[in-house]
């Protein structure tokens, strides 16, 4: 029999390493274990073969993907629920809706929830984390800046808050709500917005028709900020705009900023037609880029913005 004697120091180190690994594996907390501490938490079980699309990032669990719901009493709209695969193993958690075709809006996947236990199954803490991440991301992109005071702070699924869009126009934050959970957590969302530097007003713009499909009728809802202006002046890429807070969507297509900038780079000596131009963003950027000729559907509004931009530049 072959006997191998290892140095004592190596033996101790090996035993310590194995012990550490075993302890880590033993103490790792799963979403299922976290959920076990929450009484009455329902589980939405997906059909076989329907799991991967949600693991890959789609946050809206449609009713056709659901096999069964485990829980008595059954969950109500707004309740936090687990979402599980066909073997009933949780893949994440989200907010339930008993009326919408999207019965769950996934908020966190299993991997993220176990990495950050503070946010697991806690919507208010998750909102705080997602807001902080969104603000930091925009700051890293130089937003806001001297030349751009209009930008998208929360971009729904892009910031992992499906159904919520927030555009910032100077000192005004415009909230576009298209999910029941957004209305449910309205006060929490407004609280986080008000902590932002320079934000003085919040304009809440619910998508009434979409929210009806979510089971909410808020047609009689009034704006909580009675001092709200009807218009606000902003800058984007050095061009000034007068944004109507009663206009389309949030009032201004802030998500098209980089596309408008691109037009300014390729318009020199070109003839440009801006069709359905709304506030004239593409036409104005074409003019700024040295276009020979620019035409737009709402040319009177474009001229107003152009004149204001020139006056602003002269005052500087």
Domain assignment present for residue 1? The answer is no
Clarify whether residues 100 and 188 are in a common domain: no
Specify whether 76 is located in the same domain as 87. Answer: yes
Which residue do the tokens 């946050």 mark?
A: 59
Across 161-169, average pLDDT: 97
Considering the domain architecture, whether residues 134 and 114 belong to the same structural domain is answered as no
Domain that holds residue 296: 253-316
The structural domain count of the chain equals: 3
Per-residue pLDDT reduced to its tens digit, 106-154: 999 999 999 989 999 999 999 999 999 999 999 999 999 999 999 999 9
The pLDDT, as a whole number, for residue 230 is 86
What CATH number does the domain containing 169 carry?
3.30.750.80
pTM of the shown model: 0.83
Structural domain contains residue 15 = no
Same domain, 163 and 219: yes
pLDDT single digits (tens) 67-81: 999 999 999 999 999
The percentage of residues in the chain with a pLDDT greater than 90, rounded to a whole number, is 64
199, 230, 261 - which closes a domain? 230
Q: What is the CATH number of the domain that holds 53?
A: 2.30.130.10
The token duo for 100 is: 């919408």
On whether residue 247 sits in a domain, the answer given is: no
What is the per-residue pLDDT across 2-43, written as a single tens digit (0 to 9) for each?
444 544 444 334 334 433 443 333 345 689 998 988 888 999
Can you say whether residue 171 is alpha, beta or left, with left for phi > 0 and alpha for psi between -120 and 50 degrees? alpha
Which of 102, 119, 136 is where one domain is finished?
119
Mean predicted confidence (pLDDT) in 302-311: 55
Q: Is 71 exposed, middle or buried (0-12, 13-18, 19+ CB in 10 A)?
A: middle
224, 286: one domain: no
Q: Are residues 287 and 278 in contact, defined by beta-carbon separation less than 8 angstroms?
A: no
């Amino acid at each position: 029999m072959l006997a191998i004697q290892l140095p004592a120091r190596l033996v101790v180190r090996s035993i310590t390493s194995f012990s550490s690994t075993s302890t880590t594996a033993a103490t790792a907390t799963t979403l299922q274990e976290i959920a076990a501490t929450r009484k009455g938490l329902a589980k939405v079980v997906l059909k076989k073969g329907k799991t991967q699309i949600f693991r890959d990032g789609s946050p809206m669990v449609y009713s056709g993907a659901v096999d069964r719901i485990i829980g008595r009493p059954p969950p109500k709209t707004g309740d936090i629920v687990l979402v599980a695969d066909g073997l009933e193993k949780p893949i994440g958690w989200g907010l339930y809706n008993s009326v919408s075709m999207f019965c769950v809006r996934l908020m966190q996947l299993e991997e993220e929830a176990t990495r950050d236990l503070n946010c697991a199954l806690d919507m208010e803490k998750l909102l705080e984390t997602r807001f902080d991440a969104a603000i930091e991301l925009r700051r890293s992109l130089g937003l806001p800046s001297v030349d751009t005071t209009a930008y998208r702070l929360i971009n729904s699924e892009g910031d992992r808050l499906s159904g919520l869009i927030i555009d910032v126009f100077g000192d005004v934050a415009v909230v576009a709500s298209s999910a029941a959970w957004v209305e449910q957590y309205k006060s929490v969302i407004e609280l986080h917005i008000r902590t932002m530097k320079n934000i003085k007003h919040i304009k809440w713009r619910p998508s009434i028709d979409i929210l009806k499909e979510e089971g909410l009728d808020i047609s009689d809802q009034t704006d909580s900020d009675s001092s709200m202006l009807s218009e606000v002046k902003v800058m984007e890429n050095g061009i000034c705009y007068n944004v109507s807070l009663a206009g389309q969507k949030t009032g201004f297509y802030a998500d098209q900023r980089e596309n408008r900038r691109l037009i300014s780079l390729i318009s020199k000596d070109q003839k440009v037609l801006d069709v359905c131009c709304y506030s004239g963003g593409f036409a104005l950027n074409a003019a700024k880029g040295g276009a020979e000729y620019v035409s737009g559907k709402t040319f009177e509004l474009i001229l107003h913005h152009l004149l204001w931009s020139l006056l602003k530049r002269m005052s500087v």
